[in-house]
Amino acid sequence: MHSDARLLNPFEIIVGTYEQYLLGYKVHNVINEYKIEKSFATHSHVASIRAVASSKYYLASAGADEAVCLYDMRYRRESGKLIHHKDTINCIAFTPEGSHLFTCSDDGSITAIHCGNWQLERVWPTAHKGSAVNTLAIHPTGKLALSTGKDGVLRTWNLIKGRPAYATNLVPKLKSSAKWITIIKWSPNGEKYLIAVNASIYIYSVELAGIDKEFTFDSKVICVEFLNDDLIAVGFENGDIKFCDLRTSLHTMNTKAHGVRVKCIAHMNDLLVSASSSGEIKLWRYNKHSLNMLQTVNCGARITCLSVAQACKDLVQKEEDKSVEEKEVKTERFRLKQEVIIENEEDLEVANIRNPKEKKHKKKRTVEDAEDNVQHSKKKILKVKEAVVSKKRDRSSQMEDVGKPKKKKLLKTKEINPSNKKRKENSASQITSPVKKIKKSNKIEEPPFPRKKHKVKLSMTDEDAPPRKLKKKANAGKRVVLKKKKKIIG
């Protein structure tokens, strides 16, 4: 099962060097034979690199130049720099979910940075009362963190609330060496953590809130790694690597791994990676009682830190492959077009040799045709412009014509000056009201109702209208007059 997983998911070893270089090596398994190939090398820092960390496709490195360099491993490029510290950065660590990056520095501050937009979310400027912060370790749940500094205090941080939870003074137990603690590690299940200093390792239990086990060695401890909840690998200054069982407190394995001190240790599945200060990187397969070397490589520089990351899909290579394929397709098409053109040119040359005069005429005709086309297009444009102008003129004239007769009618009404009032009323009724003309007759007409009291507009002649209707109208008129009189009397 492990071999299949390694075949599908190769990993990458990333090391930082004292010579300011960040180097990457890919580990491949081909038919149970491991190969280590150099994948990248960058020179982004201007001082020695002190810490490296990776999460998902993010990679971060920091060092004595007070800068954090960020990389996108999908595109193999640097995505930016963070310069928010004022002194050497000693440690950087991603949260387990990869949502935040924590950094600690000799300037006494601890910072929290949001991954993705890389905004500075929280700063504790005096995390250890202004003294330098040596190291930081985040709990597997991402809710707690431990830090040590030159004040000799082990501080526990509540990362949910963003404040210190409690502090433990290590000076009574470790004395002066409490100021130089650079190794803190959490167990995978988060129930234990260890502190290493000089030639001793102290195992703390979260339940007991104190030291559960203690290991002492003959050589100085340089690096420690939890292989599982009850097994740790320890690298020493003399080049040895030892395995310790936390249940029995026994050393289960001891081997001479490097000629000089073992600077870093990391593991992936059942593989262990170790690096020495001489630049030597070794790949091992391990179990509880043995350590077998699989492959080795020398980077040629002094290694200061190490990290192991899952290999990301290299999107740059895919894009390059696509571009190469597209270029090949384009070149093939272009070559085909060139061949066709060459054949046509040969035909033209043969034709020119036979009839050289025709070539000149053709050229002249093409020039003349082009000039004619230009003139023709210009004429078309002028015609269109003229048509637009004429349409505008017609519209304006129509608007003027519509407005003129109204003015004339008003003038006519002003010119009419009849002498009698009756003529004025008759002329106004002729202009305004569409009343039919009354036919003349020899019969005596009854006088109309007085216009001052009640106006009646007749729409038919007296001859056409029946006598009953006329009587009714007259009676109606009388009734109206009586009502008015009553109102006046009252």
CATH number, position 160: 2.130.10.10
Q: Tell me the pLDDT band of 370, cut-offs 50, 70 and 90.
A: low
Quote the mean pLDDT of the chain.
78
- Residue 169 scores a pLDDT above 80: yes
Where residue 405 falls (left for φ over 0; alpha for ψ -120 to 50; beta otherwise) is alpha
User: Could you tell me if 234 and 91 lie in one domain?
Assistant: yes
Sign, CA dihedral 157-162-165-168, equals positive
Last residue in a domain, options 319, 349, 377: 319
What pLDDT sits at residue 327? Answer: 62
The answer to whether position 47 is within a domain reads yes
Q: What is the pLDDT of residue 352?
A: 52
pLDDT at 4: 43
* pLDDT for position 334: 46
User: Cα(381)–Cα(391) distance, rounded to whole angstroms?
Assistant: 16
Strands 250-256 and 119-124: unpaired
- Residues 454, 308, single domain; the answer is no
Tokens for 189, please give them: 């299940």
State how far the Cα of 365 lies from the Cα of 359, in Å rounded to an integer: 10
Question: What does each C-alpha distance from 16 to 170, 189, 303 come to in angstroms?
Answer: 30, 28, 6
pLDDT at 360: 45
Does the pLDDT at position 303 exceed 60?
yes
Under the banding of pLDDT at 50, 70 and 90, the label for residue 33 is confident
Contacts 24+ apart (CB under 8 A), 105-110: 105/66, 105/132, 105/133, 106/132, 106/133, 107/132, 108/132, 108/133, 108/149, 109/85, 109/133, 110/136, 110/147, 110/157
Determine the pLDDT at residue 311: 77
Residues 133-148 have pLDDT tens digits of: 999 999 999 999 999 9
Judge whether 392 lies within some domain.
Answer: no
Tell me what pLDDT residue 325 has. Answer: 62
The pTM for the full model equals 0.64
pLDDT category of residue 397 using cuts at 50, 70 and 90: low
| Beta-ladder partners of 78 | 71
For range 444-470, the mean pLDDT:
49
Q: Among residues of the chain, what percentage have pLDDT more than 70?
A: 66
pLDDT, average across residues 156-179? 93
Residue 368 within a domain: no
**Euclidean distance between CA atoms 112 and 104, whole angstroms:** 9
Assign 44 to helix, strand or coil: coil
Distance of alpha carbon 380 from alpha carbon 389, whole angstroms: 14
In this predicted structure, the answer to whether residue 468 has a pLDDT above a threshold of 60 is no
**Residues 177, 50 share a domain:** yes
Contact 115, 99 (CB under 8 A): yes
Helix H or strand E segment including 335: helix 315-354
pLDDT at 383: 77
Which helix or strand (DSSP H or E) is residue 54 part of? strand 49-55
Let me know if residue 165 belongs to a domain: yes
* 444 shares a domain with 309: no
- Of 275, 290, 319, the residue at which a domain comes to its end is 319
Q: Is the pLDDT of residue 400 over 80?
A: no
Lowest mean pLDDT among 89-103, 282-296, 298-312, 405-419: 405-419
Assess whether pLDDT exceeds 50 at residue 477: no
pLDDT computed for residue 386 by the predictor: 81
Does 147 share its domain with 276?
A: yes
More confident residue, 130 or 456: 130
Q: What does the pLDDT read at residue 437?
A: 45
Is 236 domain-assigned? yes
Give the span between the Cα atoms of 74 and 42, in whole angstroms: 15
Of 141, 121, 74, the closest CA to residue 315 belongs to 74
Query: Quick check: helix, strand or coil at residue 3?
Result: helix
pLDDT tens readout for residues 325-363: 666 555 554 444 444 444 445 454 544 544 544 444 444
Confidence of residue 221 (pLDDT cuts 50, 70, 90): very high
Whether the predicted pLDDT of 128 surpasses 90: yes
Which residue among 273, 298, 319 closes a domain? 319
Q: Compute the C-alpha angle 260/264/270, nearest 5°.
A: 115
Query: Domain range for residue 244?
Result: 2-319
Specify whether 309 is located in the same domain as 455.
Answer: no
Long-range contacts of 277-283 (CB under 8 A, 24+ apart): 277/302, 277/303, 278/302, 279/17, 279/303, 281/13, 281/15, 281/25, 281/36, 282/257, 282/258, 283/27, 283/34, 283/36
305 and 179 within one domain: yes
* Mean pLDDT in residue range 255-266: 95
- Helices 356-415 & 315-354 angle (0-180, nearest 10): 110
pLDDT above 90 (res 456): no
pLDDT confidence band for 458 (50 / 70 / 90): very low
Reported confidence tier of residue 435, pLDDT bands at 50, 70, 90: very low
What is residue 60's predicted lDDT score, i.e. its pLDDT? 97
Cβ contact 221:227 at 8 Å: no
Number of folded domains that form the chain: 2
User: Does residue 439 sit in the same domain as residue 313?
Assistant: no
Q: What is the pLDDT of residue 394?
A: 73
Q: Is residue 485 part of a domain?
A: yes
Mean pLDDT, residues 15-21: 95
5: which residues sit within 8 A by CB, 6+ positions away? 269
385 domain-assigned: no
Binned at pLDDT 50, 70 and 90, residue 25 comes out as very high
Q: What is the mean pLDDT of residues 59-74?
A: 95
Q: Is the distance from CB of 20 to CB of 8 less than 8 angstroms? A: no
What is the model's pLDDT at position 135?
Answer: 96
Task: Please name the residue that has the structure tokens 């384009």.
Answer: 330
